[in-house]
Amino acid sequence: MKKTIGYVIAGLIIGTMIVLMVKSNLEKPEPIDTALTSVDGAVSLGDNEAEVDAGLGQGDVPPDFELTTIDGEVVKLSDLQGKKVILNFWATWCPPCKAEMPHMQNYYQNNKDEENVEIIAVNMTGSESRGVKAVQEFAESYGLTFPIPLDDKGKIEELYQVYYLPTTYMLETDGRIANKIVGPMDERTIEQLVENLD
């Protein structure tokens, strides 16, 4: 009997410690090793000079799209002209995406209005084993407040040539691409990239 009580008490202590560790990790974003992140200011779609204005290269206007968010709202990329846009591609099963999301939320919460910036975090819903439910649970547990459009068929992922997650395009207020970032960003990196947008 004493042994059983001891096991129960030990289990409660361990459980409490785990809950506290998880809670502190959610409140304080973990540091990101940005050495693994590449910022490319000159992405190329090919040698076709006719594509100077439309495409995925620096200075190009990226392909327009319209998707529904987890909140049921419709987001159309071209409607965001006039704002600086952080166009992020991610998934709940991606560890670097998990590390990046608290940094993005902190940045968004503290700078959205002042910097005239919008974060559009396109979820690769077609790759989610539990679909939209996994995305909703993730957004709730991380307290995400920026729009999360759902790419349930993978068409936008293909259109934007997303081969690694997370991948982010930084868009100027005129809708043109300034940079493509492959890998996770921390809050300071986001600040620096947005400061350089016109």
Tens of pLDDT, residue by residue over 20-68, are: 554 544 455 666 565 555 566 533 333 444 344 679 999 999 999 999 9
Q: Which tops the pLDDT comparison, 69 or 18?
A: 69
**In what order do the strands lie in the sheet containing 167-171?**
38-40, 177-182, 167-171, 84-90, 117-123
Residue 114 has pLDDT above 60, yes or no: yes
Q: What is the pLDDT of residue 5?
A: 73
Q: What is the pLDDT of residues 163-181, one digit of tens each?
A: 999 999 999 999 999 999 9
Burial track 79-96 (b if 16+ CB lie within 10 A, e otherwise): ebeebbbbbbbbbbebeb
| pLDDT (average), residues 69-93 | 97
End-to-end Cα separation, the chain, in angstroms? 70
Q: What pLDDT does 15 receive? A: 57
What does the DSSP assignment read for 122-136? EE-GGG-TTHHHHHH
The least confident of 2-6, 131-135, 136-140, 171-175 is 2-6
- Separation between Cα atoms, residue 120 and residue 141, nearest integer Å: 18
153 pLDDT higher than 90? yes
Predicted local distance difference test score (pLDDT) of residue 105: 98
pLDDT at residue 36, rounded to an integer: 52
- In this structure, which amino acid lies at residue 163? Y
- Give which of 83, 66, 62 is closest to 150, Cα–Cα: 66
99-109 pLDDT, tens per residue? 999 999 999 99
pLDDT bucket at 4, cuts 50 / 70 / 90 = confident
pTM: 0.77
